[in-house]
Amino acid sequence: MSDSPVALVTGSSRGIGRAIAVALAETGHNLVVNYVRNAAAAAEVVHEIESLGRRAIAVPASVAITADRQRLLHTTIEQFQRLDVLVNNAGITSPGRKDLLDATEQSWDEVFSTNLKGPFFLAQQAAREMLAGLKSHTIQRGTIVNISSISAYAVSTDRADYCMAKAAQQMMTWLLATRLAEDHIRVYEVCPGVIASDMTAPVQEKYDRLIEAGLTPIRRWGTPEDVAQAVVMLASGALPFSTGERINVDGGFHIRRL
């Protein structure tokens, strides 16, 4: 068993998840790189992490599927014998972006399974493994980070299911933070704003105009690396007297202005 801390980052073959995985590797973590379909992209991330002198494995699993979540955690412990950090990053946008009056139950089930149900039950399993590691003195502390969105409080009527699932992640974070505080497991929510990624690529022109017009006090697109730096700070234990906190990485979007 390695003395290095181990981080599991869901949806880490691309975008924000990839940046988080690499940043954690740069700060001394070994990594479990999770993906659903793109094995080649996940292998590239593993190679990048290994080039930094860290150990990494790629594990295919959908957080929406119970058996996949169980296999993901089992493989992590089997390969590394510890879990120090869980980053619940995997998520999907609302299929078809339909007006809420045309939204379907199928879309609701798909979005909530991936963006809320899956992260909650993965965090539950991860917390159990962290508790075992703390009891055996295998790990010094546990950290769970839920990657949310400004859509948790900014309305998009063509993504009702997505907005509601992200809003519920704050309560999920508070619940886990409260339950696990005395066990030395800290739980946080990181709330990205407009981040340049393949998910936002289809609406690039729209947000280019909005940012130019002053959508955010910091007038630029956010990057996956911006989000990754927030996660690195939280995973480092830099905020030992904080838990359940929301860290906005949004260029100041959350500030109400007149």
Residue 55 structural domain: 6-246
Our count of domains for the chain comes to: 1
Residue 256 counted as domain residue? no
Q: How confident is the model at residue 1 (pLDDT cuts 50, 70, 90)?
A: low
CA-nearest of 245, 70, 38 to 146 is: 245
pTM to 2 decimal places = 0.96
Q: Say what percent of the chain tops pLDDT 70.
A: 99
Residue 1 counted as domain residue? no
Q: What is the mean pLDDT of residues 44-68?
A: 98
Active site residue 207: no
Residue 135 counted as domain residue? yes
CATH of the domain at 191: 3.40.50.720
| Model pLDDT, residue 199 | 74
| Model pLDDT, residue 200 | 76
Q: How confident is the model at residue 203 (pLDDT cuts 50, 70, 90)?
A: confident
Residue 252 counted as domain residue? no
Q: What is the mean pLDDT of residues 103-109?
A: 97
Catalytic residue among 35, 153, 162, 207: 162
